Amino acid sequence: MEIVRKWVQTITALLVNGSWSFPFTRTIYQGPLKVVCSPGLNCYSCPAATTYCPIGSLQQLIAGIRIALENGQNFFGLYVIGTMGVLGGAFGRLICGWVCPFGLVQELLYKIPSRKFNIPQKLNYLKYGFLVFFVILLPLAVVDDFGYGELWFCKYVCPTGTLEAGLPMLILQPALGQTIGLVFFNKLTILTGFIIWAILASRPFCRTTCPLGAFYALFRKFKLVKLRLIEENCTRCEACHSICPMGVKFNEAPEDAECISCLKCMTEACKFDAISLEIAGLAVGTQGGTKIMSPKRNNGAA
């Protein structure tokens, strides 16, 4: 299953970054596909990007809301929020586990041999702050003399933008180098910090900072596709705890906001068919098919 997931992650990363004419055009893809939403975090100013980034576009719409309304355009971000909500309602953070390019980047970095560290659970709440303040409130409230807000998350935080857009665009258009300043070096420092952190800990950006992950996490209880604990079969052996890349203790919190539905606990850890995948409440599979095994309580408890 892990191999299938890696393939899906790689193919999706290539699909949302599927325009490879930039070495010749020296700029980003500008075709009509960019009206399509990237399900995961993928900077739309990446030269190869073929889709729009929901977090970037949402900030753009919110930052320009006053001017749009003055011009009689009712742009409240409904198209972007609607698309994000359909994706979230259907899959929630399964998108993080299966199709987000930056999630894949972090997983690959974590494979680099080094001492590994846990991430304190309290830091998980930070990402909701980034969603509320940096994506919504600050772009809406802090405006210039013309009434335009800033893209606070893109400009001051997003390491994906620096990695996928900032650095490649500086190579493609060296003249941009004359305009870089503190903002760029701040973002470069943040990117470097996350790269080092991702080598030492599993998916630190997803767990502590990503506003898109925070948005999808809101659907944890009501998403269409989710994992379920079959309590009758759970032996509390806690094998699902140590395997989880997001620090979820699945049998204690089956609807944890951090679960990215990578299925590792179901397919690699649980030997008792206590975890099943369900669509709209109907089980579609457990580790050993759909049958329910008899539990061996306390057998192998940690």
The footprint of ligand SF4 (CB under 6 A) covers: 40-41, 96, 100, 102-103, 205-206, 210, 212-213, 227, 243-246, 248, 250, 259-265
In the list other proteins, ligand SF4, none, the entry touching 90 (Cβ below 5 to 8 angstroms by class) is other proteins
Site mask, other proteins, residues 172-191, x = CB under 8 A? ----x--xxx-xx-xxx---
Which residue lies nearer to ligand SF4 by CB, 1 or 176? 1
Candidates 11-19, 37-45, 119-127, 129-137; binding stretch for other proteins (CB under 8 A): 37-45
Candidates 6-14, 84-92, 123-131, 245-253; binding stretch for other proteins (CB under 8 A): 84-92
Residue with the shortest CB distance to ligand SF4: 213
Which residue lies nearer to other proteins by CB, 176 or 253? 176
In the list other proteins, ligand SF4, none, the entry touching 39 (Cβ below 5 to 8 angstroms by class) is none
**Nearest distance, CB of residue 147 and ligand SF4, angstroms:** 30
**Nearest distance, CB of residue 206 and other proteins, angstroms:** 19
Which residue lies nearer to other proteins by CB, 50 or 124? 50
Which residue lies nearer to ligand SF4 by CB, 139 or 204? 204
**Nearest distance, CB of residue 161 and ligand SF4, angstroms:** 12
Backbone angles phi, psi at 76, to 5 degrees: -105, 5
